[in-house]
Amino acid sequence: MKLGIYSLKKILFQGEARELNCKTTSGEITILDHHLPLITMLEKGRLKVIDEKGKEQFFEAVGGFVEVQPGNSARVIVEK
Residue 11 domain boundaries:
2-79
- Residue by residue, DSSP assigns 24-75 as ETTEEEEEETTPPPEEEEE-SEEEEEEETTS-EEEEEESEEEEEEETTTEEE
Q: Count how many domains the chain has.
A: 1
- Return the pLDDT at 80: 83
Through-space distance between the first and last CA atoms of the chain, rounded to whole angstroms: 24
Q: Over the chain, what is the mean pLDDT?
A: 96
Average pLDDT estimate for 61-75: 96
CATH code of 18's domain: 2.60.15.10
Per-residue pLDDT reduced to its tens digit, 13-50: 999 999 999 999 999 999 999 999 999 999 999 999 99
- Return the pLDDT at 60: 96
